[in-house]
Structures are given as structure tokens and as C-alpha cells.
Structure 1
Amino acid sequence: MNNTQSVEPLFKSIELGNLKLSNRIVMAPMTRQFSPDGVPGANVAAYYRRRAENGVGLIVTEGTVINHPDASNQANVPFFYSEAALNGWANVVSEVHAAGGKIIPQIWHMGAKGQVNDYSEAEMADIVQAFAQAAAEAKRLGFDGIELHGAHGYLIDQFFWEKTNQRTDRYGGSMLARTRFAVEIIEACRQAVGPEFPIVLRLSQWKSTEYTAKLAETPELLEQFLAQLVDAGVDIFHCSTRRFWEPEFEGSELNFAGWTKKLTGKPTITVGSVGLDGDFTSLFTEGKGANQVGVDELIQKIEREEFDLVAIGRALLADPEWAAKIRDGRTDELVPFTAEALKTLH
């Protein structure tokens, strides 16, 4: 079997409600800080278009900031409000669609520096509406859906996690109570975009400060947790892990995306060091980066329908032609994920 045949499952089209994709490859959201004053320019549009031209089925943008004063503490992260920023995003959408791709914005609030106890219910209501407004703007601009960032210790996830949510009101306490804020955001976004517009929710058990953390220690608890989010209106779950090949619970080979699909029946996206031969954080901790590798194990999991889509992060950041090279069997041409490669991001 040649390489083109072996990767065929990765390049099968799929329909997930109104989201019709040419293949299973997703560009994972990656913060780049290339948008001065929060405005994505022509260079940002060209960056996303290159990935669409080279075979990425669905692009999830870098995290974009909702209209709330504390939503970001980083410079040059793109806004998802203001006329200038939204006009910039309209151009991004136009360029990606012209290249035959699909694109959704990841909308986020980076969250509190510690615990979420200091947010008043009035401020939380403002944040909910800011998310809903961003969702409405995404639909108006012609995006193909939205992704809400509920992972990695950002605001929504801070409400999910017991260590950062010590509230004693209706937004804290039990695991299900800690989903209430997310449920309100999802419901408000659903109301803003209508019943057919795709809503993706990115989740992670791990936190940037604690890689072994789990929101739900067992499949039974995970099922209860996810059920609230499904009922609120999530269409697709984007299940973030550090290494996609690692099982989520003992006694099963299913990863986080596999368990989430099994428990909810909803489509899932897997992510985590896809296409890399090691943990990408070694680039930053040891300066060595990671080599690009094949995707045999990934293909096997797709064929078993453990999950539906595959998000590629650092491998695609280093090499905009990653998808096309994998499709065409040009794996010897893949660009390694190294500090040198990142100096010439394009």
C-alpha cells in the first residue's frame, strides 16, 4: 500500500450538520501576536489562506478577544470587536473561502490571574453577552461556525476547575454547578446565531500549571459533565490533550476525544503533538524542538471512528504545506518544528 492510499481516511470528506468539510484536517488555534492594536491585517489573511490552499479542511483561528476589559493581557492578539478588527476578519474569511477552505474563529476570555471568585454576577452577565456578540459577528462576517475556548486554564475553564473556582454561589461547588457559567455562554451564543450555525467547544482536562489535572476522574463523571454542555448547544467538542495517542482512562485505549464521542454521540476533534516525534514543549525547555513524523497510528484511530477530525498545531505552524505533503506522500519534505523554522513563520 503506498502512502497516498494509507492516508486516504484523513482526506475523506465529512458533513457535520451544516459544516461540510473536504477532509478531516483542522488547523489548531495558535496565538501568534501578529495583529497590532488588535487588528488582523493582510499578512494574517495570507497566513490562513496558505494553509487552506495546501489542503487544510477547517481552520480554527488563533484566540480572538471578546469585548471585555480583562479579556486579554497580551499585546497584538486580535480583537473580535471594533470596526477595524472585524473588517480585518472579513478579509481573512474572504481569502480562506477563495482558497476553498472553511474557517471558524476561536473566541476567548483569558480569565482571572488566580481564582474566579472576584467576578460579580453582573460582570459575568456582561461577559456572557460579549461572547454572544462575538458569535453574532462571526455569523455576520461569513465564518463557518465558532469555537469557544473552554480549555487550558482560561476563563471558562477556570470556572470548570475546582482549584480555581471556590465560589459558594450557584456558579461553584459541585462539578455540575461549575458548568453553569459555560452553559450560559453557550446558550447565549446559540440564541445569537440560531439553531444551524456550528458551535465548537474546546476542552482540556490538563492545565498549563498541572498537566495531570482532570476535571472528571472517571468516564461516569465525564459523561455528567459533558451532558450539560451538549444540552446547552455544543455541536462539536475539540478535545485538547498533550499527546493524542495517550489513553484518557485506565482500561481503555480511547483518548479524550474518543471518550467524549462515545459518551455524547457528538463529533469530536482530537489534538496533541500530531505529526511530531515528541512533546513540542522541548523546543522551549531544551531548545531541541521535534521532528515531523508519519501518522499511521492516527489513521488507525480515524478508521475505527474513535473521533472525526484531527487538529494539527505545531507541525502545521512550522510547515504550511503539511497537509498537502502528507496527502501526496512527500513526507521527506516536511519541515521540522524548530526554533529556526519559527523565525521564518509564514
Structure 2
Amino acid sequence: MQRYEDTLFDQEHISNHILKNRYIVGPMTRVSSEPDGTPNTRVHQYYERFAKGGFAAVMTEGTYPDTAYSQGYENQAGLATEKHANAWEPIVRDVQAHGAKMIVQLMHAGGQSQGNDYSDTSVAPSPFQPPSNKVEVYGGQGEFPVAKALTKDEIEDVKDGFVSSARYAQAAGFDGIELHGANGYLLDQFLSENINQREDEYGGSIENRLRLIVELIEDVREAVGEQMLLGIRISQMKATNGTYKWPGGEQDAEVIFSTLGETDVDYIHLSDDDATTPGFGEGTMTMSEAAKTFSGKPIIACGSLSEPEKAASLISAGHCDFVAIARQALANPDTPNRVLEDEPLDEFDAGSIMKPKAYVKDHELDKEMMENQ
């Protein structure tokens, strides 16, 4: 019987990129960059420590791609200007020097924007106000404003922003790009029938609501070529509506994942509360199993996979190819090294780690974690 260590530390590839094990650092909002979105020394240390800790790939936090409507949080990292790209370059280089791939997640906040240095207006597929208040841990407070509907020309501007940012990513040396189509941000807003009320080719049927994602995949792939990894993150739950499920359950999943399977994405990354539980009601497939079954693409599963045995079981069952670790990686930036050496993992402490911006307590914790590498 194969031990879970063997499963988690088998090499595997996505497209032409070989990953040394199955552990990936999931994207986590950290709001620790400069006010203009430029990543700084603190951000550099944050990402490099995961590479030192043995992860096969490190994903950035959701990073905004343009200087119009995409920024979602104050002090969020950007990849919208040459200055941003130049600041990312040494971070990418040092992560890669420790044997890890680095993937930038490009995120347009859409109607979930709660802090934008470039605009006081937020946008969505149609007029939309998120159903819960802003996320206080990321510097927000009170209700979200009502986002205005994007015009057709503005949709083209959104696509141009992603393409431009993808080119910056390529120039900065990133191994890959992930389009953030999950958690209620703009691309997910287009996919969601309860948010997207458009009556043109971007609204209505599920195929139409997928149109922007499919077009973006085509545009970004054309811009960066075949060598860079290109992935998409998908979820049902939203940051402002954690209980949302696709109304058509597995039928919706089949349409969504089979459509993505026909595109040029190299992988699909799932965001879920618990990646091992039924995704669409009792007796149904997990989200990762559905994605694997209907798309045929390599799958990254994320959601309550901190226990190595649990993570390995999902891979062994054929439901996914890689596991993304988020909160546990904050507590244990050397998770792969610890698992490989059979060392205990520290429990995640939300009170001491999930702090916004550059609070002193969080900075001291980061310094301590760096020194313990």
C-alpha cells in the first residue's frame, strides 16, 4: 500500500512544467504591498519562505491587472504597470532559485471592490451590491456600494487589462498565470446567474455567462504563447456569500468544466470549504472529481486539506493532481519539508496571523517564521 508521503512527493507535470511534489501554496489576500500596489521587501520575504519550505509552486495573492476598476483592496499587490513588474522580478527569481514555480493570480474585484486607488466606482456585469458587508480584516467597513454595469466597450477594456498584465507577468519571469474566476470576483460575477442579469451575449444561458472567461483564456494564451502555464480558479462560494451553490448542481458543473476542458487552460484550480465533501448535495461528486471527470485537465484542489493523509487520499482517488494549502501554509510555511521529515504541523491561529497590512504584530510573526526556516 502506497504511503501518503509517496503520493504527496511524487513528481508530476502540468503542460511542460515539472513540479517536484504535489504541494502548492494557495493564493491568500495579504494587503501588504505599497499603497500604489508595488510589492515590497515584506512581500518578497513572504513568498520566498514558502519556496524555502519545500513547496513545488507558489501562487501570489489575487493581484490586480489594470489601473481602472480591478483593484479590490487597499495595499493589494498589482501587476498593472512596469513599476509593478520590475518589483515582482526579483521576488520571482528568488522563489525559483529554491526550486519552486511561481504563478501570479490575476484578479479583477468587480463589484466586490472595497478599496481602489484609481477609481471611486466599482463595476459588475449588471448593477450589483454584494449581500454582506465589506471584509474588515482587509481594511473594509460597512456596506459595499452598488456596482455599475459594464458596457460592451468596458468589457473589452477589462480583457485588454488582463492581457497587458499577462505580458507584464511574462516579462517579470513568472512561470504561469492564473485567472481568478472564483469567490465572487468579476469573472465569477459573470458566471453567476443571480448576479449577471445581462441581456446580451454575456448574459442569460450558462454558456453565455462563461463567454468572458473563455475569451480571456484565448486572449491571454495568444499573448503569452504556449510555454507559460495558464490556469483558471473556479468556486461556487463567494467571499460575500459563502453558502452559494450552482443552481443546476452537477449539470451546471458538467457544462462549466467541459467548456473549460475545451479551452487552452493547462489546469483548473478549485476553491471549496472542504475539497473531500460532496460538492452538489448528498451523494454527489466532489468539486474536484467533477472538474477532473468533465474537463480532463490537471486539477488543483483547495479546501481543508491541511492533514497530509486527507490530501493524499484525494490524489490517490484520482479526484485531483495537486493540493493547494492556504491557512496551514501561513502557520507552517515549511509544510512540505515537515511532512517529508514526519515532523508535527503547527495549528493555524487566526487571531495572530490573519492581520491586515503591515501591523507590527503580524510583521513580528513573519520575522519569527522566517528565522525558524
More displaced stretch, 57-66 vs 137-146: 137-146
Instruction: Report the CA distance between 1:191 and its aligned residue.
Output: 0.8
Alignment: residue pair count: 325
Take 1:167 and 1:151, find their aligned partners in 2: how far apart are those partners?
Answer: 19
Q: Which residue of 2 aligns with 1:17?
A: 15
Structure 1 match to 2:340: 327
- Structure-2 residue corresponding to 1:30: 28
Q: CA deviation at 1:335?
A: 4.4
Matched, 1:306 2:319: yes
The answer for the alignment partner of 2:135 in structure 1 is none
The answer to whether the 8 Å contact 2:275/2:303 transfers is: yes
Give yes or no for contact 2:12–2:22 (8 Å, CA) kept in 1. Answer: yes
1:236-251 to 2 correspondences below 5 Å: 236-250=267-281
Among 169, 178, 183, the alignment partner of 2:209 is 178
Conserved? CA contact 1:46–1:95, under 8 Å? no
Q: What is the one-letter code of the residue matched to 1:8?
A: D
RMSD: 1.9
Shift of 1:299: 1.4
Whether contact under 8 Å (1:230, 1:264) holds in the other structure is yes
Once the two structures are superposed, residues 246-300 of structure 1 have per-residue CA deviations (whole angstroms, 9 ceiling, x without a partner) of 111356564211210111110100001221xxxxxxxxxxxxxxxxxx3222212
1:137-195: CA deviation from partner (whole Å, max 9, x where unpaired)? 21222211100000011000000001110001111011111111111111110110113
In 2, Cα distance between equivalents of 1:215 and 1:338 = 29
Distance of aligned partners of 1:73 and 1:338 in 2 relative to their CA distance in 1, 3 Å threshold: closer
**1:345 aligned to 2:366?**
yes
How far apart are 1:61 and its partner, in Å? Answer: 0.4
Task: Supply the distance in 1 between the matched residues of 2:366 and 2:284 (Cα, whole angstroms).
Answer: 35
Task: Tell me how far 1:96 sits from its aligned partner.
Answer: 0.3
Report if the CA contact (8 A) 1:322-1:334 is conserved: no
Output the CA distance in 2 between the equivalents of 1:172 and 1:30.
Answer: 30
- Residue equivalent to 1:161: 192
Residue from 200, 203, 213 that aligns with 2:244: 213
CA deviation vs aligned residue, 1:49-73 (integer Å, no higher than 9, x gap): 1111111011110111111411114
CA distance in 2, matches of 1:132, 1:306: 31
Q: Secondary structure at the match of 2:88?
A: helix
1:48 is matched with which residue?
Answer: 47
Moved over 4 A (4+): 250-253
Conservation of the 8 A alpha-carbon contact between 2:125 and 2:150: yes
* Structure 2 Cα separation of the partners of residues 195 and 54 of structure 1: 29
* Matched letter for residue 75 of structure 2: N
Which AA in structure 2 matches 1:266?
Answer: K
2:13 and 2:19 in contact (8 A); partners too: yes
Q: CA deviation at 1:217?
A: 2.4
Aligned to 2:146: none
In structure 1, the residue matched to 2:106 is: 107
- The corresponding residue for 1:227 is 258
Matches within 5 A, 1:81-96: 81-96=80-95
SS at match of 1:151: strand
Residue of structure 2 equivalent to 1:317: 330
Distance 2:8 2:265 in 1: 24
SS at match of 1:345: helix
Matched with 1:289 is none
Q: Is the 8 A contact 1:335 1:341 kept in 2?
A: no
Q: Which residue of 2 aligns with 1:119?
A: 150
Cα shift readout 1:109-143 (whole Å, capped 9, x = no counterpart): 10025752210010110110110111122122221
Match of 1:266 in 2: 297
Task: Please give the alpha-carbon distance, in whole angstroms, between the structure 1 residues aligned to 2:195 and 2:108.
Answer: 15
Q: Is the 8 A contact 1:236 1:269 kept in 2?
A: yes
Q: TM-score, normalised by structure 1?
A: 0.88
| 1:17 Cα deviation from its structure 2 partner | 1.1
1:336 corresponds to which of 348, 357, 371: 348
CA distance in 1, matches of 2:195, 2:12: 38
SS at match of 1:50: helix
1:288 maps to none
Letter aligned with residue 326 of structure 1 = V
Distance (whole Å) between structure 1 residues aligned to residue 92 and residue 22 of structure 2: 20
Q: Secondary structure at the match of 1:60?
A: strand
When the two structures are superposed, what TM-score results if normalisation uses the length of structure 2? 0.82
Contact 2:250-2:284 within 8 A present in 1 as well: no
Task: Find the partner of 1:151 among 177, 182, 185.
Answer: 182
Can you give the 5+ residue segments of structure 2 that lack an aligned partner in the other structure? 113-122, 127-148, 355-361, 368-373
Report SS of the residue matched to 1:56.
coil
